[in-house]
Chains A and B, each alone.
Chain A
Amino acid sequence: QSVLTQPPSASGPPGQRVTISCSGSRSNIGTNTVNWYQQLPGTAPKLLIYSDNHRPSGVPDRFSGSKSGTSASLAIGGLQSEDEADYYCAAWDDSLNGVVFGGGTKLTVL
């Protein structure tokens, strides 16, 4: 059971917009910033969004992050086949004094 809650799966046809949610609590998302990681099949995770809504250099602007209260969301617009991957949210938890991850969401492009 992960501290941060994500839907196990999400899907959409090419070109559509998909949103992945990440629910936490006051001790993690409610207090600290949220980061998102993309893990393509058979590869290591890669930073996708940092500090709630910032994209590292090289990440397309189709990817965007937002946060409200104790929940965060990752939006992917204009779905492409290469977006098929597992997506994880993460945040520091002040109660556990450590990093907590969501269980991951497997995105399928139909």
Chain B
Amino acid sequence: QLQVQESGPGLVKPSETLSLTCNVSGGSISSNISYWGWIRQPPGKGLEWIGTIYYSGSTYYNPSLKSRVTISVDTSKNQFSLKLSSVSAADTAVYYCARRGPTGIPLAMGWFDPWGQGVLVTVSS
């Protein structure tokens, strides 16, 4: 059964870069031929899509975050990563990783499943 799990620092200083990793288990990130995504949720607020990456490396980013976001995939480690630069308090949120699948479905027609449990990242000095 495919599972995803986020990891990374829970506290980041303003103006620095937030870095998170999503480990994929129960299947190969490349053999699934799927898309993988990051979503965040500020405390007490709704969900916001950050970006999605194809196993081969093609990326799609939220236009509102595009200038600060980099998503990459490391097939050798079966994981994908998120970097968000120049963070501020507004970037404080629970960050989730998820697979956007299923295999073979066009990106626009897919859905996020499964989701990781999420990691709270607080931006504060």
A contact residues vs B (CB 8 Å cutoff): 2, 31-33, 35, 37, 43-47, 50-51, 56, 88, 90, 92, 94, 96-104
Task: List CB contacts (< 8 Å) of B87-125 with chain A.
Answer: 96, 107-118
Residues of B near A47 (CB, < 8 A) are 111-115
- If A32-B108, A51-B111, A92-B108 touch, whether A102 touches B37 (CB-CB below 8 Å) is no
In the bound complex, do residue B109 and residue A33 qualify as a contact, i.e. CB atoms below 8 Å apart?
yes
| Number of residues from B at the complex interface, CB < 8 A | 25
- If A44-B96, A44-B115, A88-B47 touch, whether A32 touches B37 (CB-CB below 8 Å) is no
In the bound complex, do residue B111 and residue A50 qualify as a contact, i.e. CB atoms below 8 Å apart?
yes
The complex places the Cα of A50 from the Cα of B108 at a distance, in Å, of: 12
Chain B binding surface SS class: strand
In the bound complex, do residue A37 and residue B46 qualify as a contact, i.e. CB atoms below 8 Å apart?
no
Residues of B near A98 (CB, < 8 A) are 49, 51-52, 60-63
In the bound complex, do residue A45 and residue B48 qualify as a contact, i.e. CB atoms below 8 Å apart?
no
The complex places the Cα of A96 from the Cα of B62 at a distance, in Å, of: 8
- Residue in A35, A45, A92 whose CB lies within 8 Å of B115: A45
B contact residues vs A (CB 8 Å cutoff): 37, 39, 46-49, 51-52, 60-63, 96, 107-118
A-B complex: 5 closest residue pairs judged by Cβ atoms: A92-B108, A99-B49, A47-B113, A35-B111, A104-B46
Q: How far is the CB of A30 from chain B (nearest CB, A)?
A: 12
In the bound complex, do residue B107 and residue A92 qualify as a contact, i.e. CB atoms below 8 Å apart?
yes
Residues of B near A92 (CB, < 8 A) are 107-110
- If A92-B107, A99-B37 touch, whether A37 touches B61 (CB-CB below 8 Å) is no
The complex places the Cα of A58 from the Cα of B62 at a distance, in Å, of: 31
